[in-house]
Structure 1
Amino acid sequence: MTRIVKMRPSAGSEVVNRGRRRFLTAAATGIAAAGAAGLFPPRRTADAADDAVRQFRVDVPEENLADLRRRIAATRWPERETVEDQSQGIRLEKIKPLVDYWGTGYDWRKAEARLNALPQFMTEIDGLDIYFIHIRSRHPNALPVIITHGWPGSVFENLKAVGPLTDPTAHGGRAEDAFDIVIPSMPGFGFSGKPAGTGWGPDRIASAWAELMKRLGYTSYVAQGGDWGSPVSSAMARLAPQGLLGIHINLPAVVPPEIAAVLAVNGPAPEGLSEEERATFDALSAAARMGNRSYATMMGTRPQTIGYAISDSPAGLAAWMLGHPGFTQWTYNNTDPEKSPDEVLDDITLYWLTNSAASSARIYWEYDRGRSPLLAAGEKTSEIALPVAISVFPGENYQAPETWARRAYRNLAYFHKVDKGGHFAAWEEPELFSAELRAAFRPLRRPT
């Protein structure tokens, strides 16, 4: 049985106490206050066991939301860019209406309610508090899966897939395709703890995830990830902890060493590439020339420096996060209900309220000072023996050729190019994303 440890209230103003009482119920055995002034993750009681799993509930003090609105209202905007594209960064005409709405019309409480409608927990692993969402399917023999988000994503990017994965019969699937889902927040992100020292790269996170699944009682499970979730899931497969059956990734590390060497010096395409490989090479080369990974260079070398700016300015944080190529095709206005301003702002506001702009950026620094996670050699894909499944979404930052994928992963068990979706696959196309996981992991399920 999962041990639940009752948490002591954090010290705070009467505003905090009133906010806490809104969500306190007689059935609750634990509650965590949330806010930017050091109110999360919840502090542990002195007698809490190291492997204790504590219930968690989000409750941001109103004063923190008021402070956010005041800061937005005081934004000092620069003049508009001098070009008609995004080559100088996100355009003023695109970011300013979103930030204005953030300060006047956006309601964080709706996002908070979405989280609190799900089972949320906190547990300490390797000296750090790890926040996670854990949903068990109503269907028997569900396959456990741990799903890892990336930057500038969060647990929000995976919430739309909860229904299709845990209850497939309500979403066009079969009962035997059901999953139990564990959605953790990476160290330094969201409500998880912030590492006080170095060493929290993908391998260490992978080990923490293996411990988490063991702690939850799962003896066999699979892992999934996009963006940073791909290096973390790949590290899990390479380390092959007991119980892990295989992984699914949607940002695979397939770029061969000789291609990586040419791209590093902005050289011409090598001879002998297929049409598909040449298209991928050209896309990667163009992205490098346009500086599409400039954010990664900065966070990979000076995360603390950029952290001062984006921890102090909401508008700066929004512009920094929305400069990620994964958001390029997002309109985040009311013309697209699936990528509405509220959905984008849920994600950005989580970073703001947890003051995790700098702490989340440090994973780039930990990852060999910001090298690309697309490189097969860097990800040591040749050392992965467990089954690997790959889904390629058309709006992804690059299209992985199957030839490169099969060369990179010696046990590539599933490869499929789909017709919709992008970098945030679970967020953008949750039904399609869920169908991909069902197909990819079906051979790994044990007969009932």
Structure 2
Amino acid sequence: MRFEDTIMQTIESIRDTLNNLDQTKLQLLALSSAGIGALLCYLAWRKSPKKIPVGDGWWGAGEKSITEDKTIHKFVVKTSVEEIEDLHRRIDQTRYADPLEDSCFHYGFNSSYLRRVAFYWRHQFDWEKQVKVINQYPHFKTKIEGIDVHFIHVRPVQTPGQKVVPLMMVHGWPGSFYEFYRILPLLTETSSNVVFEVICPSIPGYGYSEAPHKIGFNSLDAARIFHKLMERLGFTQYYVQGGDWGSLITSNMAQMKPECVRGLHLNMIFATNDLGQLLSLLVGRYLPFLVGFSKEDVKRLYPYMEKSIYEILRETGYLHIQATKPDTAGCGLNDSPVGLAAYILEKFSSWTDLGNRDLEDGGLEKKFSLDDLLTNVMIYWTTCSIIPSMRFYKENLKQNLKTRVDSVTKVFVPTGVAAFPHELAHCPRSWTGARFRDVRSYTYMPRGGHFAAFEEPQLLAQDIMQFVEKVESKRRK
């Protein structure tokens, strides 16, 4: 008998055997397989850590103090004639290079438009007026782990029947607490079922928060400090929200003290980059339903992913600099206000929409006013915080993020995601479950990019409110 005939007979025999099995046996077999799979998933779930260690730290100068002053002090942003005169002198002494013809924003901040921004900054921008705008909300400082932590604390305008919900919102780079000024009225003066009491801290090393004096301060340390801040303010349970570094910090807060975080809302997702995602990218272009991709996922992922290596090279040069030699690169930025503005505002151009690179003005004034943009720059300039803010990249990226404790620990608190179409990278809902195990809300936003609260405050506020109302409703039940 030929080998092929033997194979065919074996296949026929197996087929006959399967046909002879009654339906009950097949159901039992399926149930057994499902039960074994569920058991294996449960055992894996039990073995995985549910929290990350809280730890402790000391970031002040010199030796750790035995006692720490926990007083919360009022803080007022101030300026002076000398500060403004020094700024104007430095702007006047700026040396420019002519841009290449038709280069737009493809080589960075176009110097022709930069001259116009600098002229506005020098002759029309009113820093004293903007300081009053900044001070419209109450500012405070308190010392935590040896450094002064700055925050604004906005209490709500409550109407009968509304529930007040505490919410911490955390910014990223190259933003600041000022990013939230457009969204604050929408959260604290709303007629919805819930109204928010909002706390917006400055990450240590950013703006009016003191910079760490010691090596090693990363997102885990910021998360712990912000938990201590909320505890000091008298909150035991609260919501947290963030994008950019704020996304990682608030996720760490949820991992660190899930009993305190009632809900986590993100407008940027740090998803794990594993083999499964790579395979789903390869398959998803042609068979999206097999990997859980929606039509919107396909639209956002392709063809961008096919040229992603090129785009990464074009857009992440700053990251490599800041993750390796921040103090070297920061020297020039800390000395030149126009150089600092070019470095920061270029991100507000391309991270809002990569298509802005094709415009001579970078599309900056499509979503923002020059007053708002320069106010954010002035927060960095007047506090000399550009170098310590850049160091945050060095501290977080000096080790393999994939092996860090927060990368191997899932997030189990209720999570809401606002996916903006022009975010630096799109994370499909089917990927979020690998890290965030209780996704209650996932919204494909119709417009907007990386600086969501600054660009589209109405959209972001609505999404935060619907997420919190959904979580609160389930809690009541």
* TM value normalised by structure 2: 0.75
Give 2:305's aligned residue: 281
Q: Identify the residue that residue 357 of structure 1 maps to in structure 2.
A: 386
Q: Give % identity.
A: 29
Structure 1 match to 2:6 = none
Q: Return the letter of the residue paired with 1:197.
A: K
Task: Tell me, in whole angstroms, the C-alpha distance in 2 between the residues paired with 1:327 and 1:215.
Answer: 36
Q: How many residues align?
A: 390
Three-state SS of the structure 1 residue aligned to 2:342 is: helix
Paired position in structure 2 for 1:87: 106
Which of 104, 114, 123 is 2:123 aligned to? Answer: 104
- Root mean square deviation of aligned Cα: 2.9
Question: What residue is the counterpart of 1:78 in the other structure?
Answer: 97
Judge which range, 394-403 or 340-349, deviates more. 394-403
Change beyond 3 A, Cα 1:328–1:73: farther
Unaligned runs of 5+ in 2: 1-64
* Contact residue 385 and residue 410 of structure 1 kept, 8 A: yes
Query: Which deviates more, 278-287 or 419-428?
Result: 278-287
Question: What amino acid is aligned across from residue 185 of structure 2 in structure 1?
Answer: G
Query: What CA distance in whole angstroms lies between the structure 2 residues aligned with 1:365 and 1:190?
Result: 18
CA distance in 1, matches of 2:318, 2:74: 35
Distance in 1, matches of 2:446 and 2:352, equals 18
- In the alignment, what sits opposite 1:197? 214
On the 8 A contact 2:108/2:346 being kept in 1, the answer is: yes
- Give the counterpart letter for 1:99 in structure 2: A
Change (3 A) 1:336 1:361: closer
> What CA distance in whole angstroms lies between the structure 2 residues aligned with 1:108 and 1:84?
32
Q: Is the 8 A contact 2:440 2:471 kept in 1?
A: no
Q: Which structure's relative contact order is higher, taking Cα pairs within 8 Å and 6+ residues apart?
A: 2
Deviations 1:162-196 (A, max 9, x none): 11101112xxxx1x221100000110010110111
CA deviation string 1:372-425 (max 9, x = no partner): x8x899962752111221101122112221111233322222111111221111
Question: Does 2:421 align with 1:398?
Answer: no
What is aligned with 2:345? 322
Structure-2 separation of matches of 1:327 and 1:298 = 21
The amino acid across from 1:157 in the alignment is E
Moved over 4 A (4+): 259-262, 327-338, 375-379
Relative to structure 2, which stretch is displaced further, 147-156 or 235-244? 235-244
The change in CA–CA distance for 1:379 and 1:296 in structure 2 (over 3 A counts) is farther
Show the counterpart of 2:168.
146
Q: Which amino acid aligns with 1:238?
A: Q
| SS of corresponding position for 1:301 | coil
Q: Give the match for residue 24 of structure 1.
A: none
Separation in 2 of the partners of 1:333 and 1:107?
Answer: 23
Q: Look up the match of 2:437.
A: 410
| Structure 1 partner of 2:376 | 347
Q: Secondary structure at the match of 2:460?
A: helix
Once residues 384 and 229 of structure 1 are traced to their aligned partners in structure 2, the CA distance between those partners, rounded to angstroms, is 15
- Aligned amino acid, residue 438 of structure 1: M
Distance 1:251 1:51 in 2: 33
Return the index of the structure with the highest Cα Rg. Answer: 2
CA distance in structure 2 between the aligned counterparts of 1:283 and 1:380, rounded to whole angstroms: 27
Compared CA separation, residues 282 and 62, structure 1 to 2 (3 A) = farther
- Is contact 1:334-1:340 (8 Å) kept? no
Q: 2:236: which partner in 1?
A: 219
TM-score (norm 1): 0.80
Residue 77 of structure 2 aligns to a residue whose secondary structure is coil
Amino acid in the other structure paired with 2:183: A
Query: What SS does structure 2 have at the residue aligned with 1:58?
Result: coil
1:132/1:183 contact within 8 Å kept: yes
Alignment map for 1:24-423 (pairs within 5 Å): 50-81=69-100, 84-139=103-158, 141-169=163-191, 174=192, 176-240=193-257, 242-258=259-275, 270-271=282-283, 273=285, 274=288, 276=297, 278-279=301-302, 281-282=305-306, 284-289=308-313, 291-324=314-347, 325-328=350-353, 336=365, 338-369=367-398, 380=407, 382-423=409-450
Q: Whole-Å Cα distance in 1 between the matches of residues 363 and 342 of structure 2? A: 19
Matched residue SS, 2:330: helix
